[in-house]
Each structure stands twice: as structure tokens, then as C-alpha cells.
Structure 1
């Protein structure tokens, strides 16, 4: 057995080998140590008295699905080694083979997947000699796959980060760029000849997709993308041990049809994850997702990743969403029905791959029972209105309620089938005549035995006959010895006891044979019938996939409508121009967290002439919120959603870029400022007049002069780009930039209004025309809880800086020596040191500053006498020089 184990392990070196032994999966040697540690199960040994005992651990075979997700989540691959022959018929060692290798990117079981998330396996190939590469990714659980071809390797890795696959395939000659080093743990390096070779990839693609050449897949002119696709197919065949006919037709991603959001923009706008990496509340996804089916949720994610760039599909979606908004009763009825639908895509995939459980078939049956009700709801709504959207009519024309399969599954499946297909109890009475007879025997065998007993009593006239059973003789009829002479001729004696005789009869023996074999025969027949049913459904998978797509579209539209109604959004007007006019716009995520009553809407206007809004104002006033809400509203509009605004006219964008927040990548030697400049460089290289750019605090990570110069140059470049500049919202603390409004016609000054009240500031959260007069940084620091001595000292320094700035001229940066003379008086020349006057008290010693701080912090209303005495004693013992008290 160990020889067999080691041979199979050698063939699958990169995976934990789950070796089937009877009712358990066993692991040995290093695999056992790893599994025992990560699964927190007992580690034992085989032959513990041996000189070198073999470590081992195991799990029950029926509990496999409870343990495997934990290993996959930790990044392990698992090779399932099953017995491939009947142990009863095996001669010697039972034959075993690896029937499947489970990896994080190829699982199809719900226990290892998130319902509304895709689970991608990706492959990247880049040919540096031809300056071209391809990236392909597949969701094996649904069969959907696509990819892109690009000239720059960095662009492929940007898309890789955006796709966020569970596993990545790379040629061994490749390496992960330093900037994307966080993806290294997901990478599997594969040899080019067997995975990425072009001729082999072409052959594998044509075979898997059942096409004569690559023109049908739009891959004839994309050799590098073809090689990436070939690597995916090789890996899937290696791990799944079967053909890949369930994959959908490959469709390259046409970037020209979509608004491009790079991975930095997705992160900065918190579309799927918050900046802290968390999901759920605080993301745009959480606000928009009102879908009820896994298919609808995944479609929403695809739309958010790749919004449309053309008006036609956007308006098509808008019309459908508007229809569901107007017809609330129909929407509510549809939501009730959609809530009963399971994941048709993944269910049909598991059935096709022979990975389905009886519970999967039950979920399929329950889903199909709902389809006629959904169809009736749609038909009634379309008939009752003259304004049914064209998209909804087209969807309904091709509707297939799959009534034939629904009726078959209702007739066939039991209402509460077991988890395992070998346990029996899968089918109803009436599905199969042979099975009905076996069901009758197994479920009503006791009654038939009692009927036989009553018949024998009546025929023999012996009322004291009893029916019994033991393992030696099986069923028997027991008669008291006093009545043994009266037994019929067909009674055959089997055993004599002290007070009775035991007999069998031909009818009892025949019935016994049927009863004892009925259970095994029933399980075997049900297993056969189950596989036949699975095969028939698998042949119709294209029908299930088609309906899954229609249900996903319905769910997507109604979900956006539900979100629009719940959050009071409006339908935007989209056009091919450059105008961006948002009236009373809100940030949907911030509003969802704070509540609509606490949110102050703002207007944003960009047009052909004013394409760059220069926004000033203090920190915490809401500059970043205004920037992000403009970008988010544009994204929502271009997926066909309503938007959080009273009115919105949006010129289509081809790309959205964002540079907000502070982040670093210290592991790669990149400071906050370096990351900021890299992201700014990407924007300046790729943005054009149809793009929308939001920039927050460019240049703040370096000195005043450098930062101001960079921010100034960036504004000028954005205004000069293309014909009339790039549409930009630019937030800054450099008030000096506001003079650009007088020299650059594309620039328009705005600020976030604040109000001073009794020495404090009140944030009005309102975007108003004109520049801000101050930064209010010290006031914000005070609100944040900075100690009062620090705030007071900062005000003194600010006052001196402002006085020196006036000497240099209005709106000019303060010179470095002047700043240094205030902050570092000990390092200046004697002639430059400030003269202390009555109006300018001397600086306090550290001890005196400590005393003043403690005195300021005292709450005398809560101070007890003993506490006051202790404080006075402490101060009296402090080493305070007399001159500090003068």
C-alpha cells in the first residue's frame, strides 16, 4: 500500500495527497504533518513501534467537503486519490488513481466559493522580443472566460491585479514585477513547451471549443493571448482529469467598448473593497447590490469592473431600470420569485462535471419551478403597458421555462434526498417500475412478512406461530413443541429448541432473499438512475446557461431599480459631449453610512471651456468626498444605473483616473511620495480629453517648493492635453495655484465653505465658486485633539510666517530661511535671532511647559482636597529655575 501511495505521490508532487482507504482519506509523511497542523486534527503514526514510524492523519470520506475549503483557502492544492475498482472484486491491492486535483482557482463546490464573486484562474504570457503579451482568465465554476492582448507587460499586470485571480500561471522564464510582488504566492510557474507553446495551444483551443480555426474565437491575430489560453487548458486538463466541453465560447475583451478603471482607481474609489482592505459596508458594491441571485450579483460586479463606453447599451439598461422603478408592484413580485432561484450557472457546471450532489438536483428543481411564475409576471407587465423597454421584450421573447426538466425532476426526486448518491432514497415512487418494486420491499418488507405469517396461521390453523430472525438461519417460523405435529408439509425444520421448533417455508425463503438483497439492489439501481439523469441534464446545459443569463439580466435591472427607489436616485442624461453637470450630487456610500439627513449635496460643473476645477479648502471639509462622488456618479451612470443627484448630465468618459489618499509600498522601497508620483505619471501618460481625472493633494509628500512646482506643472499639463484639456477635479492646499484661473482659461476656482464661530470652525460641506482664503489646518488639528500648547504654539508660528510672507509679496511662498528662523532659532546667526520684547514673551523651559500643561488640564470642580495637596507637593518638588517664573 505504501509503495502505491509513494508512486502516486511522486506523480503529484505539488499537492497534498488524500489517499482513499475504506471509509477514510489518509495522508502520510510530510502531507500528514501539514494537514494535521492546518486542519487541527490528530497526527498519529503507522507502525508506532518501528524505528522510523510513518506520520499519518485522516478524515472520514463523507466529511471531505468540510475540510477541503480550509486547505484551499490557505493556498494548498489537494489531489484526491480514489479507489477506481470494487474492493469486493479486486484481486490483491485495490487499484487507486488521482481522479481530481483541487486548487484554489478550479473549485466548483459552493463550500469553497463566494456566491456573488467570480473565482478566476489566470495565465499570462509576454513575448519581450515582439513587445506583445496576452492575459487570459477563466471562472471554471461557470465556464466563462476571456482575455486581453497588450503591448506593455505592465498593462497586463495591472489587469491581473484588477481581475484578482485565485491562481496565476506563468512561464518559468518569467518573473513577477516588483510592483506586483504581493501576487507572488498565487503564482505557479509552468514550462513553456507543455503549457505555453503556440502550436499546442492552437490545437487545444480548437479541440476544447470545437472550432476549425482560431478566427471563430477572434484569436487568429493574437498569438500571445492564444498561448495564455493554451496554458489555462493544459492546467485544467491536468487538474480535472476530463474534457473541458463545458467552457463557453472564448470571447476576447474589447477594451474599446468599456470605460476603463485601473486597479488604483478601483481601490481609491472603494468600489469593491474599503481602503483598509475590508469588504461590505463602506463600498460602492454594498450600496448598489440589491440583487437576489448569485448570477445577478456576479453580473453587477462585471458591470462595475467594466462599465460601458457606448450610449446604446447604457440607454438599453437605463430603460429597463426605469421600467422597474415605475412598476413597483411588479418589481416586488419579481423580487419574491427571484429570491427562490439558486445558482443555475454553477449548478449546471457541477452536473456536467459529475460533481453534483442530490442536494444540487433539488436546488435545480426548486429553481425551475419558479421560472413559469417569473414568466407570467413579465408577460403580464409587458401586456399591461405600452412602454415596456426593448431590452425586456427581447429577453422575454427567448424565454425558456424549462418545463420539461421541471416536470421530470418533480416526478423523479425525493423531497429530502441524502447527501451521498450511494445511500439510496433519491427518487420517488412512480419514477421507475423496477425501483418501485425495490422501494416496496425495503420500505414495506415488514408488512409483507406479517401478511405471510397471517396466511400461514390461517392455512395451518396454528395461531401460536411466531415470526423470528437470527443471523444464522435468517427469517423463521417458530411453533411450540406441543403443536409441532400439526405443522403443514411445506414447513421444513431448521432448529430444535427446548420448548419450540423453528421452520422455514419456500415462500418465506423467497421473500427473505428479496428483502435482504432489496436494499443493495435499490442503492445500485438508484445510483444508475441518478447518473442517467445527470447525463441527460448535462446534455441540455446550454439551455440552463441561457436562462441563467436572462435571470442575471433581470436581477441586475431590478436590483438597480430597488437601490434607486430606496436611496432616492434619479436617471442621468448621457451624451457624447464633454459636459459634466451634476446638480445636488451625493456620495452614495457616505450618504448610506451617515444618513441622507446629515449629507450636504453639492453641484459639480465641467464644460467645453471650464475643464479643470481647482478646489481649495481645509482638511475634513469634504474636498475628497466631492472628488470621489463625481467619479462614482459617472461610473454608476455608465453601467445604466440611476445616480444620487437631483439632476445629472454626463458626457461619456473613456477612462477614470484617481490619485487620492496617502499610501506607500515600503517592501518595494517606495515611499508615499514615490507612489504618489508613479500614479500621477500614469495619469499624465494615458489621460485624454474624454477621460475624467480626480487628483487630491498632488505634491504634498515633499518640500513646499517642490510640491508646489509639481502641482503647478501638473495643472498646466492637464489643461494643455488634447483639445482644450482633460476633465479634472483637482483638490489642493497650495493656495498659490488659484492664480492660474487668471492665466489658464480652462481653470475654475472652487472651495469648500467653512464658517468661523467663537474661535472654532464649522464645516458647511458646500462647494462654492472662488478660492479659499485659508487652510484652517491649525483649527482642524484642534478639532482632532492635538494638545492645546501645541495648537497655541502653532498659531504663534503661523502668525510670524504670514508676516514674513507679506514682506515677500502676496501669494508668494515663504522663503526657507524665514521658516527656519522661526522653527529652529538655535541654528541661526546671532544677527538673525529675533529680539524678545514685551509683546513677544520668552520661550518656556520644558519643566515650565509641563507645569502649565498640567495646570491647564486640571478640572478643579472634580478635584478632591487630598488630590489638590498631592499635586501642590509634586509641583513644589519640581526643579524650576527662578528665571523661568519671572
Structure 2
């Protein structure tokens, strides 16, 4: 699909697209088709997400409403939050969702405000398509009405209170639903969608700049060969399914801020670690399931017209659903003796009677034996679709299939043509979806050998020639007509089944959530199994005993230097000093990565860990200019610090690496002092790495300040030459030795 960053004129939603704008296949059974290690965006996992954003005006100025729909699953997530004038929170949320398209209101009265929002979105997602629609479609009452009509109440949480209070989210939802129906040329079935209002305060906000600074995800443009375990996400990602991979990514970039939720995850992971046989059985079962999100599409979307392709798609989705429900039945048995509350709750979810009812519907109508095939080729796939419906359900279908079988046998008998005109040659009847039935002649001199004039449409390859005959062309036409008749008859029956499943749709959603959660927990358990980890505890202090940098720990555990971290409510500001290459930047990333892992629900590489539940994690790392934005390194630093100071509070973790290094010493020192004192007043948990040794004097004015340093070992080789060996070990107290910048350079040379 094409994508661009230019806003178009307002789209008229009163007309319909003749064809769906976004097309996608049947999906896969696992993430085999995903790029290995390329979990950089949700689009890597088949998501086709569209977002709608609406800004508040008047009394709601400063608030933003957002609705996000994955077109493949028809899940709608709703948000409403207060944001800064630079849209810091919106940019973070939109980068987590990673939509292919964003729709905005076309307001003739507020061009300047719309321009600011558009520029902010372009900065966050340079390649996203931004489309404007008329403001009348952003109507909160229409949004609330659509939710009442389309939402399945059991699996949605948008009650009357939310519909009345979160008006900006309702307005964004109204425009989103109307736009998706317009561009996809469909209508949503009543009571078939899941609308979820998400409270942003229940998750930890990490800005997109910190994703890069802290190496949470792979940087864009990194070659595939260099991506292996190059980020925290690829390190812990052992998921098998696409839905599990998306859940893992979302929880890493938006960690939970609910200790109860996290402790339940830890309990489940520890049980999987204690029973490795259970973990292996779960992963083996998950490797056989299909992506069921396309099933939701089939059940919730009512296409304007049914054609051959839609019938085939519907039948294949029902077959995959039945096959997956077979696996879910096995998983139900695997979960029979689990003890962890989260695992027992997952088992209860798939004990829903509607799941059994769906399976019974499918088992009565579908012949799943068609999926058992020794060969996986085009003709096998076509036969699976043709014979998916059980015999005896429809007389018309049975007659059409008998005609198809007779034609199929007649075509196989046409092989006499090659025996007559090419006797003794290595020829056979072949089939492909593009050419239909044709002849294949395997020969050494394919470029020069002469094909008898009886045959036509020859195509020469390096070691073979394909061709057909007029007789075979006629048979292909007849069999295509026969297949179309079979598929339309089968499609009518499949449509009846999907309409019945639509009334049981919560059961399908529960299966999808169950599989994603299982895959997510198994992935974290495998990570914990592969390295020495401990279970984090939650408390008011940030205490890490022998914490290890996760990425360095994976690459070479024997050479990783563990370090402690000690931040308490009374001593929550740590100043880190030391020479270049001593390990200050690595230590900052280590503390943040361990905190993020803990709030993502993972065990962490440390002997012992107590961590506060942070609502925000910020980092100010890096000192490069931005030529694209026309900003110097100092300007970038000040812009980032402005955003941090806007949100910093007592539940924030902030790491700052060598602030104001890109300006004069006098200005940099005064700026560092001022920002440090402001963060002290905000009572944020802060780790402040600096080359300005005078900053260490803050501990004499503030009891919350503690000094730490990295102290290298210096060996004197002769009177004028010293050799420096960095220990990467953190010690308490300020650094008092010289800054060996020049000596480090000489030593490296």
C-alpha cells in the first residue's frame, strides 16, 4: 500500500470506495513469515491500524481524544488525555500504535492549530498518511450511538459513564468507524466489535526518544544481520504468534503501572520456570495455531457483495478456526493442574460454553480432514476449499462437487497428448494458481529444444518448458466455472455459519486473548530461563543488588560487571561522575532497562530487586545535532529537558547523561545546577551523570543527593606514561581523580 506524509483535501465519506483500500491475506499460523529480529513496528505483525485524533476546544483545550482500530481485527481502542502544547504524550501514544493512516478534522476556522498537530504527527511518524475529513463526522453523540449499536457489551468497557464523560474520544470514534466503513467498502455487524477505553494513567509513559536512547527497539535502517539481540525487545522476544509479539511489544513500550497485575505475571512465569515440561508443551501447541484475527474480520464485517474471493477467504478462515479450536482443547487439558492465579484465570476464559458451541457448529459443517495433506501446493489448497463443507449438507453443492471431480479426472487423462507428441520425454501435467493446468517438460537443453506445434503458450526456463494445448485451455475454462459454482454454494453455507458465530463472538475474542497471553508469558519465561534472573519486589525504593545490563549480559555473561543501585525516598538523586569510557552511560541504560523489564512483567538479571512502580521513565542521552530540524545539540538538550520537566513528578524515573556538554563550561555548569535543583524539588528518582565535578557539591545542600563514581585503575608504566584500566565498578562518593580524556585516547591508539 502506498504511504505518504502529505495531508490531502477533506475526504467525502458520503460515497463509497469501489474496492477496499487496505487488502490483506489470510495471515499465518505463526510468526514464521515475520522478519527475524525485526520487531520494530506493529506492521511487522500484519497489523493494519488506522487512528483518528480530535483536539478539544474551549473548555476542553489541551485535551486530546484518540480512537485506534486495527482493520484486520476490528478492535477499537479509545483514549482521552490532557497533553502539552508540543503533544508529547500524543506523539508517544501514536508511535506505540504505529498506524498506517491518521485521520484529522478539517477545520476551516483553525488552520494554525491543525497545522501544529499535523507537524507534530509528521515528526513522530514521518511516513504515515494523514487524511482530513469534514469536522461534522467528529460528533461525540454519534460516537456514543455507534458504540451502543456495534459494541459487544460483554467484551467492551465503554459504559454509559465513559460515553458521557470522554466526549473527545467519542468524537474520534465516530469519525473512525465511518471512515473505515468508507475506505474498506463494508458495514460493521451489530454487537460484533470490541471497544476498549484505556486509561493512560495505568501504564508507564516512555517517550519515543527514550526507546532509541535506551535501546528498547531496533533502530530503523539497521541491516537484518545486525539486528540479532540488538535491542531489549529482540532479546526477550521468543514469541511464536503475531498476537503474542504485538502484546509483548506493547507491554515493553507501555509497561504496566499496576503492581497487582505485575505480581500475577511473575507468579505465572515462576510456575512455567518450575515446570519446564509445561512450558515446552505450551510452546509446541502454540506453534500449531492460526492467526484468528482474520476470523473476527469475517464475522464482524458485512461486505457489500459476496464474490469468489470472499467465499474462499471465509471458508479458509473457518477451517483455521476449527483447527485452532482443536489446539485450544488440548491447551485446556495442559492447563488442568496450573496453580498461578493468572494461569487459572486463562483456563477459565477458554472454558466458556460459547467456545464449545462454536466448535460444534464448525464440526457439524466442516470436514477438517481436508487440511491433512501430504503435499502443500496450489491444487491442494483449491481442493481444501472445494471440499471443506461436509457432504450431505447441500444437495446443490454435492452435485457441483461431483461435476468438479469428473472434470478433474478428465483433465488428468489429457496427459495422453504429451505421450503422443513427446513420447519418452520427461513430461507431466502441472498446476499453478496463475496458469491453471498446463504441461511441464523437464529437459537439459530447454532453451533450444523444439516444442511440437500442437502445443501453445510455451514458456522456457533454465531447465524446463511449460506449455498447454487448446484442449487443455477448454478444460481449464470448464473447471474454473465448476470451481466457481462449488465456491458460491460453499460460501452460502459458510456465511450462515459466520452469522451464527457472530452471536457467539465473545468466545472468539477470548480465544485470541488467551493465545496472545500464553505466548507472551512463555516468551518472558524463556528469557528468564536463559539467564540468571530474580523476581522484582515493589516498594518505595529503587534497590538493585548486582544488577546487570540485559544486552551485555546476553552477549557475554562472564565479563559483565554487576553494579548496585540505591535510590530511596529520602535519597533519590544520584550524581554519577568519572572519566570517559568508565561506564556511566551504560549504567544509566542498565537501571532504566531493568526497571522497564520489571514493569513489563519480566524477571530481571539481578540478585535482588526492589523497584517503585513508575508512571513515567525519561532519558536524556546523546549529544548530536539535528540537521533535519535545524537544531543544535544544545537546543535539542533544552527541548528534551523542557518536556521532561513538564511531566516530572515523584513517580518518575529520569536518567540524564552529561547535560549541557555542548555549550561553554560556565553556561553548562549553571544550567546543570538549575535543572538538578528543579528535579530535586519535583522529588523525581534521578540518576545524573556528569563531567562537571562541581555538581557533586549539591550533596551539601540537599540531603536527597548521593554521590557515586566510576574509578579506573591507573598503572604507571614509567615517569611520564600511565596505563588506564576501566573497572566499570560503581563506588560511593564523588570522583576526585583527573578526567583521563587525553590519556584514554592515547591508550586506545
In 2, are the aligned partners of 1:126 and 1:133 still within 8 Å (CA)?
A: yes
Q: How much is the aligned-residue C-alpha RMSD, in angstroms?
A: 3.6
Aligned to 1:746, which of 704, 708, 711? Answer: 704
C-alpha deviation, 1:346, in angstroms = 3.0
Aligned to 2:349, which of 395, 398, 402? Answer: 398
Aligned to 2:289, which of 341, 358, 372? Answer: 341
Between the two proteins, the alignment pairs up a number of residues equal to 621
C-alpha separation in 1, matches of 2:481 and 2:178: 40
Aligned to 1:270, which of 211, 215, 239? Answer: 215
Tell me what 1:224 maps to.
168
Tell me what 1:258 maps to.
203
Tell me what 2:66 maps to.
135
Tell me what 2:729 maps to.
766
C-alpha separation in 2, matches of 1:159 and 1:168: 13
In 1, are the aligned partners of 2:267 and 2:340 still within 8 Å (CA)?
A: yes
Tell me what 2:675 maps to.
714
C-alpha deviation, 1:121, in angstroms = 1.0
In 2, are the aligned partners of 1:217 and 1:251 still within 8 Å (CA)?
A: no
Q: 1:117 to 1:560 in 2, by over 3 A?
A: farther
Q: Which moved more, 1:606-615 or 1:525-534?
A: 525-534
Deviation readout 1:515-552 (Å, 9 max, x if unpaired): 99898456413322134224413542522221110111
Aligned to 2:45, which of 108, 112, 116? Answer: 116
1:482-493 matched pairs, under 5 angstroms: none
In 1, are the aligned partners of 2:152 and 2:193 still within 8 Å (CA)?
A: no
C-alpha separation in 2, matches of 1:184 and 1:651: 35
Deviation readout 1:558-595 (Å, 9 max, x if unpaired): 211111001222111123xx211101111112322x32
Deviation readout 1:224-275 (Å, 9 max, x if unpaired): 2222111211210111122123863322221222222222222322222338
1:306-317 matched pairs, under 5 angstroms: 306-317=254-265
C-alpha separation in 2, matches of 1:299 and 1:574: 23
In 2, are the aligned partners of 1:195 and 1:201 still within 8 Å (CA)?
A: no
Aligned to 2:54, which of 125, 147, 167? Answer: 125
Deviation readout 1:88-107 (Å, 9 max, x if unpaired): xxxxxxxxx9542314xx75
C-alpha separation in 2, matches of 1:200 and 1:658: 41
Deviation readout 1:660-718 (Å, 9 max, x if unpaired): 11244333332211111111122222211221111111111111001011111222222
Q: 1:235 to 1:607 in 2, by over 3 A?
A: same
C-alpha separation in 2, matches of 1:446 and 1:307: 56
C-alpha deviation, 1:422, in angstroms = 8.7
C-alpha separation in 2, matches of 1:214 and 1:312: 23
C-alpha deviation, 1:783, in angstroms = 4.6
Aligned to 2:132, which of 178, 183, 190? Answer: 190
In 2, are the aligned partners of 1:424 and 1:522 still within 8 Å (CA)?
A: no
Tell me what 1:175 maps to.
115
TM-score with structure 1 setting the length: 0.64
1:426 and 2:386 aligned: yes
Q: Which SS does the other structure have where 1:643 is aligned?
A: coil
Q: Which SS does the other structure have where 2:197 is aligned?
A: coil
Q: 1:651 to 1:417 in 2, by over 3 A?
A: same
Q: 1:362 to 1:763 in 2, by over 3 A?
A: farther
C-alpha deviation, 1:158, in angstroms = 4.0
1:806-885 matched pairs, under 5 angstroms: none
C-alpha deviation, 1:397, in angstroms = 2.1
C-alpha separation in 2, matches of 1:397 and 1:713: 55
In 1, are the aligned partners of 2:582 and 2:727 still within 8 Å (CA)?
A: yes
Q: Which SS does the other structure have where 2:597 is aligned?
A: helix
Q: Which SS does the other structure have where 2:606 is aligned?
A: coil
1:731 and 2:689 aligned: yes
Q: 1:184 to 1:265 in 2, by over 3 A?
A: closer
Q: 1:419 to 1:650 in 2, by over 3 A?
A: farther
Q: 1:233 to 1:518 in 2, by over 3 A?
A: closer
Tell me what 2:621 maps to.
660
1:777 and 2:741 aligned: yes
Tell me what 1:581 maps to.
543
Q: 1:206 to 1:370 in 2, by over 3 A?
A: closer
1:150-549 matched pairs, under 5 angstroms: 150-152=81-83, 153=85, 154=87, 155-173=89-107, 174-177=114-117, 178=119, 180-182=121-123, 183=125, 186-209=128-151, 215-216=159-160, 218-245=162-189, 248-274=193-219, 281-350=229-298, 352-353=300-301, 355=310, 357=313, 359-379=316-336, 381-382=337-338, 388-399=339-350, 400=355, 403-404=359-360, 407=363, 408-411=365-368, 413=370, 415=373, 418=378, 426-427=386-387, 431-432=391-392, 434-443=396-405, 520-521=481-482, 523-537=484-498, 539-540=500-501, 542=505, 543-549=507-513
C-alpha separation in 1, matches of 2:545 and 2:368: 58
Q: Which SS does the other structure have where 1:603 is aligned?
A: strand
Give unmatched runs, 5+ long, in structure 1.
1-68, 78-96, 383-387, 450-514, 786-886
TM-score with structure 2 setting the length: 0.75
Q: 1:127 to 1:98 in 2, by over 3 A?
A: closer
Give unmatched runs, 5+ long, in structure 2.
9-15, 28-32, 35-41, 108-113, 304-309, 412-475
Report which of the two structures shows the higher radius of gyration computed on alpha carbons: 1
C-alpha separation in 1, matches of 2:171 and 2:219: 35
C-alpha separation in 1, matches of 2:145 and 2:408: 61
Q: Which SS does the other structure have where 1:748 is aligned?
A: strand
